[in-house]
Amino acid sequence: MRHSWVVGALLGVCLMILACGTEQSVHGLVIEVRGRDITQVAAFTLQEQGSGRRWAFEAQGPIGFTPSHLREHMLGGQPVTVWYRKEAGKLVATRVAD
């Protein structure tokens, strides 16, 4: 009986950890870009299509777009999809696609 309780508790903890680290996505228009250098984005803001909600993202490494490519989308009004995870209360972009 005790063994099944321990297994159940461990399974619950594992599921909570996985749920916190899962990626989510949002689609919208880029309205601000800040580059770390010419090849990497430091941060950007996206306005979600439909709701108009603004999302502020940080990037901790390559996300598939350079700052200039993201700015091209911003100036052209071309939407992007951003995959992200929540980390220490911040939204960290992991990937951006056309």
Q: Which of 70, 90, 91 is nearest to 26 (CA)?
A: 91
pTM reported for the whole predicted model: 0.78
pLDDT band at residue 1 using 50, 70 and 90 as cut-offs? low
User: Which position has the higher pLDDT, 41 or 2?
Assistant: 41
Task: Spell out the residues 6+ positions from residue 36 whose beta carbon is closer than 8 angstroms to its own.
Answer: 42, 59, 67
Q: Which CATH class is domain 23-97?
A: mainly beta
Q: What are phi and psi of 6, to 5 degrees?
A: -65, -45
**pLDDT digit string, tens, across residues 33-91:** 999 999 999 999 999 999 999 999 999 999 999 999 999 999 999 999 999 999 999 99
Exposure letters 45-82 (e unless 16+ CB within 10 A, then b): bbbeeeeeeebebebeeebbbbbebbbebbeeeeebeb
